Amino acid sequence: MTEQIVHGILLAFHNIALVGCAAAPFYNRNLVNTRAQYGPKLHYELDKVVEETLQGNAPWCMAFITILFATGMGMPLNHYLFNGAFRALHPAARAAIGLKLTAIFWMMWIMGRIFFGLNPRLRELFAGFAAGKAPEPAAEKEFFEKRARRKALCETCLKLAVVVLISSAFIGFAP
């Protein structure tokens, strides 16, 4: 009974993190696509909201991926703790776990690039802009180039989140 309770708690947190991993890039994508309607020229107030939203979501994405990984590892360890062995898996389930882990590690790599590479530079560039003042053309150009790179990485994250969601459905295959 205790094993099932622990498994249920881990699975609940795992599913919440799984939804977060898919929802965050989906909603960020919608925000970025809406902003793109105004073109690659700085609109200070609008871009301030976009940057604060996207950069504020980055820690949530990292948290969701971390929880997803930790609970995903916790479920087989929970079974091992109570049964002294890992659960036998169907070959399709093993393949799904491999695919899911690959996608999660790839997402972690992408978030590291965004969180530690692109976002700090975007923050630095945006700090040089001011409301009602024309931005320096080189800074504005770099700003929108970095944003385009972040958008492309987030698009990949969204696709990987879908892979994680789909592969999760095959992990329960019985041996």
* Domain range summary for the chain, segments of one domain joined by +: 2-168
In terms of residues, how long is the chain? 175
pLDDT at 79: 87
pLDDT tens profile 155-168: 998 899 899 889 98
pLDDT tens profile 46-89: 999 999 998 988 888 889 989 988 998 998 899 899 999 888 88
**C-alpha to C-alpha distance for 84 and 125, rounded to whole angstroms:** 54
Report the range of poorest mean pLDDT among 83-92, 131-140, 165-174: 165-174
Reading the block at residue 69, the tokens are 């990984």
**C-alpha to C-alpha distance for 39 and 14, rounded to whole angstroms:** 38
Quote the pTM value: 0.85
**More confident of the two residues 56 and 21:** 56
What is the distance of C-alpha 102 from the center of its chain?
14
pLDDT tens profile 91-122: 998 999 999 999 999 999 998 999 999 999 99
| pLDDT category of residue 175 using cuts at 50, 70 and 90 | low
pLDDT at 122: 97
With b for 16 or more beta-carbon neighbours within 10 A and e for fewer, the 112-150 pattern comes to: eebeeebbeebeebbeebeeeeebeeeebeebbebbebb
Reading the block at residue 88, the tokens are 């036998």
CA-angle at 46, arms to 40 and 48, nearest 5°: 100
Check pLDDT > 70 for residue 143. Answer: yes
With b for 16 or more beta-carbon neighbours within 10 A and e for fewer, the 33-47 pattern comes to: eebeeeeeebeeeeb
